[in-house]
């Protein structure tokens, strides 16, 4: 290992030279209060920034072991330190100083959710931040003085402010960790209490805007309050009692007029699969971790999915037990999305009629009289939703504003009125009993779930093929583009980065023509659990600082949307 003096000497010796001379500084350096690893040096100032690690030995960092004694505490601590490191960069860094990305220091950006990330590592031996630095240049000429300032002045101060326990707001850090531990505990208790979701009293559900996930503020914001009939209380390990609305297993409807908060409540529930930061407003909005949001998705690719439980007897004898298309309709895409979720494993489906295909959700009595079942290939969701719960223990929460026929299949009906919540189950059941029901249940076959095996040939890459995420909703996998715009529980660009690498990793290790899709993804996730998220990175021996752990549902959603792959 080199010393900090060696790095300063190297930088001084290449001042004013061509940019490629920066390659000579790659390596490990010992500074007085931390170790610096320059893992990868960018090829020019306009290329992706250089990959750097800074490591503080634990005997200097001083983080007590109880702060990272289990998985949830460690993830929360690493999340807090990543945010603190980013704040310190914003205060200390002088920003861009030269051409391209020169002078820019960055670490993975955290949103409202707390995710396992590769940006920060905490263990018994050290604390390590993985970051990117744009090595300074004017044109393509090295600016050594500016580089020295980054490594010796700015980096020392950033590390001091963010990676030393004694210099942090320790009570704030403790609260951050204890909140995540409480959220995880609450999530683990839902099913044994007969619940699939919980929304705490006082939660702030509306978001700031359509492009901001921060909580809405102002005098018109109405904190959530549970109806007494659905109120439940939990005793948390750290924050005492929390009371709120428990949504029971079974079929739950969220009804109400337009703009009264139905979709806002459902969106909060769908994000409840993740833990949230203090001040988010949804700290104790918690959902079973395998909940899946379902919607129609016109135009998506579908490969070998058994949608016959929803769609059968298509014209021209098209096979729906192994249905494939490059351009799914609204109803076939929604059917495929549900069956794919069941194939992976879920205990809760979330649907909003605003983003559903109308003919998939229901066919009323009048339409049944005009168009007979023999002429209609779709078995609507209303005729399967109880079977999914009774036979497969899969609950559903549906936003319904236009069809009271769902009252007959519901266990619980929640009404949103001016963002306040009422339990109207009794009234809905009375209306269903008193009103003439001209609709007939339309089920002509058994519902079944098929586990698919993908042909490994579809995942092979050539040496020159790239695997790259492009923002939150797009992945380039070789010559294939994967569109994830309608995968609504994907929340972070770094999750998409990880999904891209997981597919590459699975192609190399587990897509073998024998394992089902769920088995392939479970195998990868088991490797991650055993060896850490770094295991999927192509940068062996270097840091992958921009990966965040996705759920298996979003991983499978990406694979299911790959064009040009086939099932066996």
Average pLDDT over residues 515-539: 96
Statement: residue 437 has pLDDT above 90: no
Statement: residue 86 has pLDDT above 90: yes
Listed in sequence order, the residues at least 6 apart from 158 whose beta carbon sits closer than 8 Å to its beta carbon are: 85, 88, 89, 92, 93, 105
Cβ atoms < 10 Å from Cβ of 209: 9
Q: Coil, strand or helix: which one is 350?
A: strand
Give the pLDDT confidence score for residue 487 in this predicted structure.
97
What would the two tokens of residue 414 be? 């929640």
Q: 225-242 burial, b if ≥16 CB within 10 A, otherwise e?
A: bbeeebebebebeebeeb
Is residue 163 within 8 A of residue 129, CB to CB? The reply is yes
Average pLDDT over residues 426-434: 92
What would the two tokens of residue 303 be? 């490969």
Q: Does residue 554 come out as left (phi exceeding 0), alpha (psi in the -120 to 50 range) or beta?
A: alpha
Give the pLDDT confidence score for residue 119 in this predicted structure.
97
Query: What is the residue whose two structure tokens read 């779709």?
Result: 378
Q: How far apart are CA 558 and CA 474, in angstroms?
A: 9
Q: How far apart are CA 472 and CA 485, in angstroms?
A: 8
Give the pLDDT confidence score for residue 368 in this predicted structure.
83
Helices (H), 45-134: 58-61, 71-92
Statement: residue 176 has pLDDT above 80: yes
Give the pLDDT confidence score for residue 403 in this predicted structure.
87
Give the pLDDT confidence score for residue 179 in this predicted structure.
98
Query: What is the residue whose two structure tokens read 């899709």?
Result: 517
Average pLDDT over residues 457-470: 94
Average pLDDT over residues 104-108: 96
- The 10s digit of each residue's pLDDT in 229-248 is 999 999 999 999 999 999 99
- The 10s digit of each residue's pLDDT in 55-77 is 999 999 999 999 999 999 999 99
Average pLDDT over residues 162-191: 98
Q: How far from chain centre, in Å, is Cα 451?
A: 23
- Max Cα–Cα distance, the chain, nearest Å: 89
Q: How far apart are CA 245 and CA 193, in angstroms?
A: 12
- The 10s digit of each residue's pLDDT in 328-383 is 999 999 999 999 999 999 999 999 999 999 999 998 888 888 887 878 889 999 99
Using alpha carbons, select from 72, 81, 364, 425 the residue that is nearest to residue 230: 425
For the chain, give every domain's residue range.
Answer: 2-168, 193-249+261-287, 456-560
Is residue 205 within 8 A of residue 224, CB to CB? The reply is yes
Q: How far is residue 471 from each of residues 156, 327, 474, measured CA to CA in Å?
A: 31, 24, 6
Q: In what order do the strands lie in the sheet with 420-423?
A: 292-294, 348-352, 395-399, 251-256, 412-417, 420-423
State the angle between helix axes of 552-560 and 493-509 in degrees (0 to 180), rounded to the nearest 10.
Answer: 70
- Binned at pLDDT 50, 70 and 90, residue 567 comes out as very high
Average pLDDT over residues 187-206: 97
Average pLDDT over residues 499-526: 98
Give the pLDDT confidence score for residue 247 in this predicted structure.
98
Is residue 313 within 8 A of residue 377, CB to CB? The reply is yes
Strands 113-114 and 126-133: unpaired
Which helix (H) or strand (E) segment is 213 a member of? strand 212-215
- The 10s digit of each residue's pLDDT in 362-374 is 988 888 888 878 7
Higher pLDDT, 208 or 369: 208
Q: Does residue 496 come out as left (phi exceeding 0), alpha (psi in the -120 to 50 range) or beta?
A: alpha
What would the two tokens of residue 146 be? 């500016």
Is residue 309 within 8 A of residue 448, CB to CB? The reply is yes
DSSP letter, residue 345: -
Q: Coil, strand or helix: which one is 305?
A: strand
Q: 10-38 burial, b if ≥16 CB within 10 A, otherwise e?
A: bbeebeeeebebbeebeeebebeebbbbb
Statement: residue 95 has pLDDT above 90: no
Give the pLDDT confidence score for residue 513 in this predicted structure.
96
Q: How far is residue 153 from each of residues 93, 96, 149, 210, 322, measured CA to CA in Å?
A: 10, 16, 5, 40, 62
Statement: residue 435 has pLDDT above 80: no
Average pLDDT over residues 503-518: 97
Cα distance between the two ends of the chain: 51
What would the two tokens of residue 78 be? 């690493």
DSSP letter, residue 394: -
Give the pLDDT confidence score for residue 345 in this predicted structure.
97
Statement: residue 563 has pLDDT above 80: yes
State the angle between helix axes of 552-560 and 517-531 in degrees (0 to 180), rounded to the nearest 10.
Answer: 140
- The 10s digit of each residue's pLDDT in 258-285 is 889 999 999 999 999 999 999 999 999 9
- The 10s digit of each residue's pLDDT in 27-66 is 999 999 999 999 999 999 999 999 999 999 999 999 999 9
Q: Coil, strand or helix: which one is 256?
A: strand
What would the two tokens of residue 237 be? 């390990």
Q: How far apart are CA 525 and CA 544, in angstroms?
A: 17
Give the pLDDT confidence score for residue 170 in this predicted structure.
97
Strands 395-399 and 251-256: parallel
Average pLDDT of the chain, as a whole number? 95
Is residue 122 within 8 A of residue 166, CB to CB? The reply is no
Average pLDDT over residues 506-531: 97
- Binned at pLDDT 50, 70 and 90, residue 210 comes out as confident
Total count of residues recorded for the chain? 568
DSSP letter, residue 352: E
Statement: residue 91 has pLDDT above 90: yes
Q: How far apart are CA 131 and CA 111, in angstroms?
A: 17
Average pLDDT over residues 427-439: 86
Statement: residue 85 has pLDDT above 90: yes
Using alpha carbons, select from 290, 304, 278, 432 the residue that is nearest to residue 348: 290
Give the pLDDT confidence score for residue 1 in this predicted structure.
85
Average pLDDT over residues 546-558: 98
Give the pLDDT confidence score for residue 366 in this predicted structure.
83
Give the pLDDT confidence score for residue 364 in this predicted structure.
85
Which helix (H) or strand (E) segment is 554 a member of? helix 552-560
Average pLDDT over residues 477-493: 96
Cα angle 36, 42, 48 (rounded to 5 degrees) comes to: 105
Average pLDDT over residues 8-26: 96
Q: Is 194 exposed, middle or buried (0-12, 13-18, 19+ CB in 10 A)?
A: exposed
Give the pLDDT confidence score for residue 561 in this predicted structure.
97
Give the pLDDT confidence score for residue 276 in this predicted structure.
98
Is residue 74 within 8 A of residue 51, CB to CB? The reply is no
């Amino acid at each position: 290992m080199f010393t900090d003096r060696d790095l300063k000497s190297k930088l001084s010796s290449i001042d004013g030279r061509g940019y490629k001379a920066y390659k000579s500084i790659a390596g490990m350096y010992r500074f007085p209060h931390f170790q610096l690893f320059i893992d990868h040096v960018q090829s020019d100032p306009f290329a992706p920034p250089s990959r750097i690690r800074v490591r503080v030995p634990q005997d200097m960092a001083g983080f007590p072991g109880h702060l990272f004694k289990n998985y949830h505490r460690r993830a929360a601590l690493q999340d807090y330190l990543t945010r603190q490191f980013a704040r310190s960069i914003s205060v200390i860094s002088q920003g861009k100083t030269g051409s391209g990305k020169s002078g820019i220091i960055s670490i993975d950006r955290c949103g409202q959710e707390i995710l396992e990330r590769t940006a920060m590592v905490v263990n018994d031996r050290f604390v390590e931040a993985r970051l990117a630095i744009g090595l300074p240049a004017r044109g393509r000429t090295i600016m050594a003085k500016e580089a020295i300032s980054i490594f010796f002045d700015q980096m020392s101060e950033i590390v001091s402010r963010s990676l030393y326990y004694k210099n942090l707001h320790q009570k704030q850090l403790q609260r951050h960790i204890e909140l995540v531990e409480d959220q995880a505990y609450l999530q683990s208790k839902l099913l044994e209490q007969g619940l699939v979701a919980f929304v705490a009293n006082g939660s702030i559900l509306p978001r700031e805007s359509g492009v901001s996930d921060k909580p809405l503020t102002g005098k018109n914001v109405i904190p959530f309050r549970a109806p007494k009939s659905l109120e439940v209380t939990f005793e948390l390990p750290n924050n005492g009692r929390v009371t709120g609305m428990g949504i029971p297993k079974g079929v739950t409807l969220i009804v109400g007029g337009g703009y009264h908060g139905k979709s806002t409540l459902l969106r909060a529930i769908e994000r409840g699969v993740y833990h949230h930061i203090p001040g988010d407003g949804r700290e104790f909005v918690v959902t079973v971790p395998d909940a899946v949001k379902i919607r129609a998705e016109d135009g998506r690719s579908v490969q070998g999915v058994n949608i016959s439980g929803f769609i059968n007897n298509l014209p021209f004898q098209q096979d729906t037990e192994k249905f494939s298309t490059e351009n799914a309709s609204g109803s076939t895409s929604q059917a495929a999305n549900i069956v794919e979720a069941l194939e992976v494993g879920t205990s809760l489906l979330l649907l909003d009629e605003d983003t559903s295909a109308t003919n998939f959700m229901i066919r009323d009595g009048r339409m049944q009289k005009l168009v007979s079942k023999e002429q209609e290939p779709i078995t609507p969701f209303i005729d399967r939703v109880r079977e999914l719960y009774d036979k497969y223990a899969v609950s559903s929460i549906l936003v319904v504003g236009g069809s009271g026929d769902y009252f007959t299949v519901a266990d619980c009906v929640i009404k949103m009125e001016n963002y306040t919540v009422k339990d109207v189950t009794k009234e809905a059941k009375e209306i269903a009993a008193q009103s003439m029901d001209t609709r007939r249940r339309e089920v002509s076959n058994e519902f079944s779930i098929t586990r698919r095996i993908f042909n490994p040939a579809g995942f092979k890459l050539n040496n020159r093929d790239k695997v790259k995420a492009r923002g939150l909703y797009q992945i380039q996998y070789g010559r294939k583009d994967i569109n994830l715009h309608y995968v609504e529980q994907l929340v972070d660009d770094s999750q998409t980065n990880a999904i891209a690498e997981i597919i590459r990793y699975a192609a190399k290790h587990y897509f073998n023509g024998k394992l089902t899709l769920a088995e392939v993804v479970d195998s990868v996730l088991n490797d991650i659990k055993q060896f850490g998220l770094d295991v999927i990175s192509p940068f062996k021996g270097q840091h992958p600082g921009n990966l965040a752990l996705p759920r298996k549902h979003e991983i499978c959603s990406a694979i299911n949307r790959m064009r040009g792959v086939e099932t066996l």
